[in-house]
Amino acid sequence: MARAVTSRRKIINTVVAWGIGFLIFFPILWIVILSFKAEGDAIRTPIEVLTAPWTFENYSIVQARSNYSMHFFNSVVISFGSTILGLIIAVPAAWSMAFVPSRRTKDILMWMLSTKMLPAVGVLYPIYLMFIQLGLLDTRTGLMIVLMLINLPIIIWMLFTYFKEIPVDILEAARMDGASLREEILYVLTPMAIPGMASTVLLNVILAWNEAFWTLNLTAANAAPLTAFIASYSSPEGLFYAKLSAASVMAIAPILILGWFSQKQLVRGLTFGAVK
Amino acid sequence: MKLNKTLRVATAISLFAAGGAFAETITIATVNNGDMIRMQGYTSEFTKQTGIDVNWVTLEENVLRQRVTTDITTKGGQFDIMTIGMYETPIWGKNGWLVPLDKLPASYDVNDILPAMRNGLSADGTLYAAPFYGESSMVMYRTDLMKKAGLTMPEKPDWDFIRKAAAAMTDRANEVNGICLRGKPGWGEGGAFITAMSNSFGARWFDMKWNAQFDTKPWRETLTFYKGMMDESGPPGYATNGFNENLSLFQQGKCGMWIDATVAASFVTNPKDSTVADKVGFAIAPNKKGIDKHSNWLWAWALAVPAGTQKQDAAMKFIEWATSKAYIELVASKEGWANVPPGARTSLYENPNYKDIPFAKMTLESINLANPLKPTVDPVPYVGIQFVAIPEFAGIATDVSQQFSAAYAGQQSIDEALAKAQALTNDAMEAAGYR
C-alpha cells in the first residue's frame, strides 16, 4: 500500500516537475520555432504558426546582414576573460576571508554585495568619461575590466562559501609539511574546491555572456558582443520577430550548449555543502 | 646595397601608410528599420565612389537614443554620423553638439527637402540633420469592411465619423475590432498618439508660461473620447498595444481602422506579410468638428554629424550621398519605387513613377498638413507636434503616458490620471527651472 502511494506521488512529482520545466523552457522553444517561420507567419495565432511552412530564410538573412563571427568572438573573449580576471583577484580574497578572517570580514562581504544594489545607469557617465580618458571605449579590454568588477562580488561570495566548507586542518597540515602560501592555495585548496570553482566560472561566464547594459553602452563597431547583435534586430516600428528570433537563437545557442554539457558540474557546485 | 635596401623598405612603409590614410572608415549609429537596413546593403556603392569604408552600429531605437546621447554629451567620439529624430535635432543643434549642414553643394538641392522636414530638423533657421526618411500619421482602413458597414470614408474624416464607423465595423464574434490605436505607455508610443490627438481637440501641453494644461477641458475631452471609443470598438488590452501590436492585428485582418505612422502603409499593403493587402484605403488623420488642427504628427529619421568627430569631411560626403536624389533613384532602379525612403524630398512626390504608389498622395498631404511650429489651436512656447522639443520631455511624457494607460486599463479614472499628469508635469518643469 505504502509502495503504491509512493509511486503515485512519484508520478505526480515527475509530471509536475516536467510541467514546470517545460513552462520555463517554453519561451526559448517558441523563439526557436519562430526563427524557422516566414516573417508574415510569425505574427499569426499559435496554431497557424505551427502549421506554416518551415524556412531557413531568417538565418541566411541574419548571416548576410551581420558579422556574427565577430560578435561571437567578442562574447567569448569578454565573458571568459572577465571571469579569469575575476578569479585571479577573488581566489586570494576569498581565501583570506575564509581562513584568516578579521573582525570586519562580514562587513566587507556585505559591503561588496551592496555594490550590486546600485543601478548600473547611476554610474554610466563617470565610467564612460573614465573610458574616454583611458582610451578604453569600444575595446574588449575595457569590457573585460568592467564585467569583472561587476561580477567580482558574486565570485568572491561563491568562493568564500566553498572555501568555508574545506576543513582548515588540511591547510594547516600542508603548512606543517612546509608548503608556502602559493603552494597551499594552488596545490591543496584549489583541487579540493574544483567543483565550487567550476560552477563559479560557469555562472560568471553565463552572467557576462548575457550582460546587456555595459556591453551595449561601452561598445560601437569593434568590441560589440552578441548582445549588440541581438539589439540590432529589435525594432518598435516594424515586425521583425522571425529575424529577431533567429538572431536570438544564434546568440544563446553557444551558452545553452555549454550549460547543457556542464549542467552536472553546475548543479554539483551550486549544491556543494548544502547538505551536511 | 644597404642604402638601396633601406630605401626600398622606407618606400614600402610610406606606401603602406598612404594606403592606410586613404582607406578612411566612418562609423554610423543607426536604427533598425527597413529603409536603414536597405541602405546598409548599398554602402558598397558609396565606398566604390569615394573610397571611404563604413562601419554600421545598428541598435533598437531606445537603446540607440541612450547610446548616442551618452556619446555626444561626453564627447566620446565613437560615431561619425548619428541617426537621430526630429525630437533631438533642434535641442542638440542649439547646444552646439552638431555640425551645421550649411555647406551642402548646390547639386544636393537642399530646397528640395520637404519644408516641414527642413523646419523640424533646424534650430534658429540652420539645418542640423538631413532627413533620410520622413513620416506623418494617417488613417488606414479596410475598404471591404467600410463598404459592408454601408459607409464611405471621407478624405478628411472627423472624430465623430471615425467613432461611428468603428462601432459599425466591430464584429467581436469574428475578432474584428473597429479601431486599433496605441495605448502603450512611453513618450514615443501611446504618448505620441494621445498628444497628436489632443491637438485635434484643441489641447496643448503648456501655456506660454510653461504651465501644464492637463486640467483644461480639451484634455478631458480627448481622453474621454479616446477611452469611450476604444472601450466600444478597440481590441482587448488596447492599453498595452503599441505600433507593432497594432500592425500585427491589422495585418491579420483584426482591425477595421488604424491611425498610425504613414510608414505602416507599405507594411499593410505588402501581400507577403499582410492578409488584407488589397483591401486598404487611406485618409487624413481626423480632427474634432470645428477644430482646424488634425491629429497627424510629423517625424523624420535624419543623419547628423556630431561636433566631436575627427572625420567631418568623410561624414558629410556620406550624408550627401545617402540623402540625395541619386540614392532614391538607385533604390528605385534595384527594388522598385515602393521601396524608396519616403517623406524627405519634394521631387519624389513629383515623380510620375512614384505617384502610382497607392499611399504616396496621402502621405505627402499628411506631411504638408503638419506644422511643428504651430501644432495646436492656442499658441505654445515649444516646437513639436507629438512631442515638445525640450530635453525634459521624454521623461515627463513617459510618466504622463503611464498615468493615461492606467486610466485606459480601468485602474484609475480619467480625472485622476489628468490630475496626476498635471501635478507631475508642473513639478518637473519647476525643478527644471521653466516655471
Contacts of A239 in chain B (CB under 8 A): 244, 247-248, 251, 267, 273
Contacts of B76 in chain A (CB under 8 A): 128, 132, 137
> pLDDT > 70: what percent of chain B?
95
Look at A132 and B75 and tell me if their CB atoms are within 8 Å.
yes
- Residue A63, min C-alpha distance to chain B (Å): 13
Inform me whether the C-beta atom of residue B62 falls under 8 Å from chain A C-beta atoms. yes
Using the predicted structure, report yes or no on whether residue A269 has a pLDDT greater than 70. no
In B71-217 the beta strands, taken as DSSP E runs, fall at 81-85, 122-123, 126-127, 130-142, 177-180
Backbone angles phi, psi at B181, to 5 degrees: -135, 160
SS3 state at B280: strand
- Per-residue pLDDT, averaged over A219-246, amounts to 89
Dist. CA B422–CA B416, nearest whole Å: 10
- Per-residue pLDDT, averaged over B335-349, amounts to 91
Residue in A228, A233, A235 closest to B61 by CB: A235
Task: Pick the closest to residue A227 from B58, B40, B71 (CA basis).
Answer: B58
Residue in A38, A232, A239 closest to B58 by CB: A232
Dist. CA B401–CA B194, nearest whole Å: 8
| pLDDT (0 to 100) of residue B4 | 58
Contacts of A65 in chain B (CB under 8 A): 37, 40
Contacts of A231 in chain B (CB under 8 A): 58-60, 63
Domain-embedded: residue A220: yes
- Which tens digit of pLDDT belongs to each residue from A158-210? 999 989 888 888 888 988 888 888 888 888 888 888 888 888 999 999 999 99
Residue in B33, B67, B71 closest to A237 by CB: B33
Dist. CA B82–CA B27, nearest whole Å: 9
Contacts of A228 in chain B (CB under 8 A): 57, 59
Residue in A44, A224, A238 closest to B34 by CB: A238
Give the count of alpha carbons within 13 A of B375, CB side only: 28
**Interface A:B, Cβ pairs < 8 A:** 93
Domain-embedded: residue A274: no
Look at A235 and B189 and tell me if their CB atoms are within 8 Å.
no
Share the mean pLDDT of chain B.
92
Decide the pairing of beta strands B280-284 and B177-180. Answer: unpaired
Using the predicted structure, report yes or no on whether residue B40 has a pLDDT greater than 60. yes
Using the predicted structure, report yes or no on whether residue B18 has a pLDDT greater than 50. no
Domain-embedded: residue A36: no
The residue whose grid cell reads 521631387 is B347
Helix (H) or strand (E) holding B301: strand B298-304
Residue in B31, B78, B244 closest to A220 by CB: B78
| pLDDT (0 to 100) of residue B254 | 96
Residue in B32, B243, B263 closest to A234 by CB: B32
- Which tens digit of pLDDT belongs to each residue from B371-418? 988 999 999 999 999 999 999 999 999 999 999 999 999 999 999 999
SS3 state at A157: helix
Look at A237 and B55 and tell me if their CB atoms are within 8 Å.
no
Inform me whether the C-beta atom of residue A216 falls under 8 Å from chain B C-beta atoms. yes
Dist. CA B157–CA B267, nearest whole Å: 23
Look at B27 and A221 and tell me if their CB atoms are within 8 Å.
yes
Look at A138 and B261 and tell me if their CB atoms are within 8 Å.
no
Residue in A125, A137, A238 closest to B78 by CB: A137
A144 and A85 Cβ atoms separated by less than 8 Å: yes
Share the mean pLDDT of chain A.
89
Contacts of B71 in chain A (CB under 8 A): 128
Residue B325 CA: distances (Å) to CA of B61, B133, B340, B343: 26, 12, 11, 12
Q: Domain range for residue A142?
A: 68-228
Inform me whether the C-beta atom of residue B244 falls under 8 Å from chain A C-beta atoms. yes
Contacts of A137 in chain B (CB under 8 A): 76, 78
The cell for B119 is: 523646419
Look at A234 and B252 and tell me if their CB atoms are within 8 Å.
no
Contacts of A39 in chain B (CB under 8 A): 272-273
Which pLDDT band, with edges at 50, 70 and 90, does B281 fall under?
very high
- Per-residue pLDDT, averaged over B115-135, amounts to 93
Using the predicted structure, report yes or no on whether residue B1 has a pLDDT greater than 50. no
Look at B244 and A217 and tell me if their CB atoms are within 8 Å.
no
Whether ipTM exceeds 0.90: no
Q: Write out the CATH class of domain B2-135+298-360.
A: alpha beta
Look at B76 and A217 and tell me if their CB atoms are within 8 Å.
no
Helix (H) or strand (E) holding B57: strand B53-59
- Residue A228, min C-alpha distance to chain B (Å): 7
The cell for B433 is: 527651472
| Chain B contact probe: residue of A124, A237, A239, A243 with most B CBs at under 10 A | A237
- Which tens digit of pLDDT belongs to each residue from B71-119? 999 989 999 999 999 999 999 999 999 999 999 999 999 999 999 999 8
| pLDDT (0 to 100) of residue A273 | 54
The residue type found at A121 is: V
- Residue B207, min C-alpha distance to chain A (Å): 31
Residue in B32, B79, B248 closest to A232 by CB: B32
Look at A124 and B74 and tell me if their CB atoms are within 8 Å.
no
| pLDDT (0 to 100) of residue B57 | 94
- Residue B364, min C-alpha distance to chain A (Å): 20
Look at B251 and A43 and tell me if their CB atoms are within 8 Å.
yes
| pLDDT (0 to 100) of residue B15 | 45
Domain-embedded: residue A100: yes
Q: Can you give the CATH number for the domain in which A158 is found? A: 1.10.3720.10
Largest CA distance in chain A: 75
Decide the pairing of beta strands B81-85 and B25-31. Answer: parallel
Helix (H) or strand (E) holding B25: strand B25-31
Inform me whether the C-beta atom of residue B137 falls under 8 Å from chain A C-beta atoms. no
B-contacting residues in A 94-133 (Cβ below 8 Å): 124-125, 128-129, 132
Give domain limits for chain B. Answer: 2-135+298-360, 137-297+373-431
- Rounded to 10 degrees, the C-alpha dihedral B381/B383/B389/B394 comes to 90
Report which of residues B72 and B4 the model is more confident about: B72
Q: What's the fold here for domain B137-297+373-431? A: D-Maltodextrin-Binding Protein; domain 2 (3.40.190)
Which pLDDT band, with edges at 50, 70 and 90, does B341 fall under?
very high
Inform me whether the C-beta atom of residue A233 falls under 8 Å from chain B C-beta atoms. yes
Look at A44 and B75 and tell me if their CB atoms are within 8 Å.
no
Look at B57 and A220 and tell me if their CB atoms are within 8 Å.
yes
- Residue B215, min C-alpha distance to chain A (Å): 31
Domain count within chain A: 1
The cell for A226 is: 552578441
The cell for B292 is: 482646424
The cell for B205 is: 501641453
| pLDDT (0 to 100) of residue A262 | 81
| pLDDT (0 to 100) of residue B142 | 98
Look at A224 and B57 and tell me if their CB atoms are within 8 Å.
yes
Report which of residues B321 and A182 the model is more confident about: B321
